[in-house]
Amino acid sequence: MHILIIGAAGMVGRKLAERLVRDSGLDGRAIDTMTLVDVVAPEEPAGFTGKTNIRTIDLSAPDAAESLITGRPDVIFHLAAIVSGEAELDFDKGYRINLDGTRYLFEAIRMAHQKDGYRPRLVFASSIAVVGAPLPYPIPDDFHTTPLTSYGTQKAISELLLSDYSRKGFFDGIGIRLPTVCIRPGKPNKAASGFFSNILREPLVGKEAVLPVSEDVRHWHASPRSAVGFMIHGATIDLEKVGPRRNLSMPGLSATVGEQIEALRRVAGDAAVRLIRREPDEMIMRMCAGWAPGFEATRARELGFTAESSFDDIIRVHIEDELGGSL
C-alpha cells in the first residue's frame, strides 16, 4: 500500500505518519511506501521499514499535484493549508494555498482517473469554520454552511468540490471537519484559535500565556490524538454507509475558556492558572464571536468516530503524548 500525506510536516501530519508506523499498516494492509509532502521537508517517521519519499513542494505550484499522483498512492491524506488567522490577513495567499492547491490536487486525480481508472481514497482535513453565526447550540449535522472567514469559505468550497468529484467517481473522498485541535504541541502559530492551546500548554511547563478573550467564550475541541484517529477512521470506513453527504462534523468537547482553566487547575494546580495573563485582542474577539460553540455530530458518532469527553482528558492526553507522562 502506498500512502500520501500532504501537509506531513504539520502537527497532525507528523502524528498521523507516526500512528501509521505504530499500527504497522492501515485497515489490515501493510504499507510499503509513504510519500510525505510539505513546503518544508517532513521528518521520516522512526521505525518505518518501507520506502519513504520526502518531497518539499508547494501544492499550489504548477504541475506539483500531478507529480504527486505519478506514484498512484492508494490513500491520500490532504492536510495542507495555511491557518485561519493567516488566511484572513493574506487574502491572496489563503485562496492560493487553501483552495487552488486543493483543486489542483483534485484535478490531477481526475486526469489520472480518465487515463487509467485510478481511484484513490482521499481524506480531506476540513474545518468547523465552514459554519458561521448566528449559530444554534448544539449545531445539528444538517446546519447550512455560512462561513464568516476567508479560511472557512475556502474549506466550504473545497468540501463542495470533494462531494462532486466523489459523486463523479474520480476518487472516494471524505471530508473531516476538525474541531479546534487542543492542546497543540510546539510553539504558537498564526491560527486565531491558537490561544485555546496556549493557555494550557505554556502553564503546564511553567511559562506565561496570554488570554485574548473573555472566559465565557465557548468552543468545540478535540485532542491531536483524536484528530489523527478521525483521519485513520476516515481512510478505512465503508463510504457506502456515509452516503452522498461526504463531509462530516467530527465529535468533540464543548467547553468555555473558563472551563478549560478550571480543568487546568484540577490537573496542574493554582500555580499553573496564575501564569495566564488577560490581554484582550479586539480582532480575535470579533472573530471568535462567530465560532461554533459545539456540534451534535450525530452522524459521525454513529459511523464510529470518537473523541474525548472531558477537558481533563484532553490535558492528560497532552501530558502523556508530549510531556513524558508527568508534570
Catalytic residues: 151
Torsion of CA 111, 115, 116, 117, to 10 degrees: 50
Distances (CA, A) of 6 to 53, 179, 267, 301: 12, 19, 35, 26
Q: Hunting for cell 511547563 — which residue is that?
A: 205
With H, G, I as helix, E, B as strand and everything else as coil, classify residue 283: helix
Question: What letter does residue 81 receive in the DSSP assignment?
Answer: -
Residue 239 CB neighbours (<10 A): 15
The letter for the amino acid at 319 is: I
Grid cell locating 106: 483534485
Cα–Cα–Cα angle for 83, 192, 320, rounded to 5 degrees: 80
